[in-house]
């Protein structure tokens, strides 16, 4: 039955550190392309979330819970497909902390992945716009996109910064928990609650 058990905390820490070494030393082209994919994957989760919360027939609390579960799809795709997401790659710091990689390798990964995530997410957003997806439900989906974006850009800098830290904590917890699992279902269970909580911050 051992193969059905979750990895222990010590085993998870070792797996995260080993994974961090691999990620930090990926070739530039692979790292960039996997970063592009991650940006698109998170966009898919955001699209799924927006469809749900745009349904005015759902009570707001229920819509956000279901929407949060749907948003989890983005990180699940990242984890299962092996894409490179900046917020999850913060955990590479563990490999640096135990001396397995250099600070330069750590910063190289973060910089390339952050830029690639932005391009991937922006490209996916452009495709969604050009597809006319925002016109669905009588334009309610487009209105939801605008409402979310307006609320984000209206945040004062320090509030946005602190909220970003809190959200990143949840992403790192979700990635950490995904390392505890041995199957895709295990990973889904590990990812879904932290990420569905993220949309409420």
The model's pLDDT over 34-88, given as tens digits with 9 standing for 90+, comes to 999 999 999 999 999 999 888 878 888 888 889 999 999 999 999 999 999 999 9
Alpha helix positions (H), the chain: 9-24, 28-53, 60-81, 86-89, 93-97, 103-131, 140-153, 157-178, 184-198
Is 44 within 8 Å of 73 (Cβ atoms)?
yes
Span 127-155, average pLDDT: 91
Is 53 within 8 Å of 65 (Cβ atoms)?
no
Measuring CA to CA, which residue among 146, 200, 191, 177 is closest to residue 41? 191
What confidence score (pLDDT) does residue 47 get? 93
Q: Which residue has the higher pLDDT, 113 or 189?
A: 113
For residue 58, how far is the Cα from the chain centroid? 25
Span 135-141, average pLDDT: 89
Residues in the chain: 201
**pTM as predicted:** 0.89
Residue 4, pLDDT above cutoff 90: no
The pair of structure tokens assigned to 19 is 């994974």
What confidence score (pLDDT) does residue 157 get? 95
Residue 200, pLDDT above cutoff 80: no
Output DSSP code: residue 183.
S
């Amino acid at each position: 039955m051992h193969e059905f058990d979750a990895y222990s905390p010590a085993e998870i820490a070792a797996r995260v550190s080993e994974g961090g070494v691999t990620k930090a030393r990926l070739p530039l082209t692979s790292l960039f392309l996997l970063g592009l994919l991650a940006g698109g994957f998170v966009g898919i989760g955001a699209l799924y979330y927006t469809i749900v919360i745009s349904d005015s027939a759902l009570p707001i609390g229920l819509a956000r819970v279901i929407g949060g579960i749907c948003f989890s799809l983005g990180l699940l795709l990242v984890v299962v497909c092996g894409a490179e997401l900046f917020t999850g790659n913060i955990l590479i710091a563990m490999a640096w902390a135990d001396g397995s990689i250099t600070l330069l390798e750590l910063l190289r990964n973060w910089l390339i992945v952050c830029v690639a995530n932005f391009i991937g997410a922006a490209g996916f957003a452009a495709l969604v716009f050009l597809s006319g997806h925002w016109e669905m439900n009588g334009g309610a989906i487009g209105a939801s996109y605008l409402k979310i974006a307006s609320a984000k850009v209206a945040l004062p800098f320090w509030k946005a910064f602190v909220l970003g830290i809190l959200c990143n904590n949840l992403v790192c917890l979700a990635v950490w928990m995904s390392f505890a699992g041995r199957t895709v279902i295990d990973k889904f269970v590990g990812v879904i609650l932290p990420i569905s909580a993220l949309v409420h911050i």
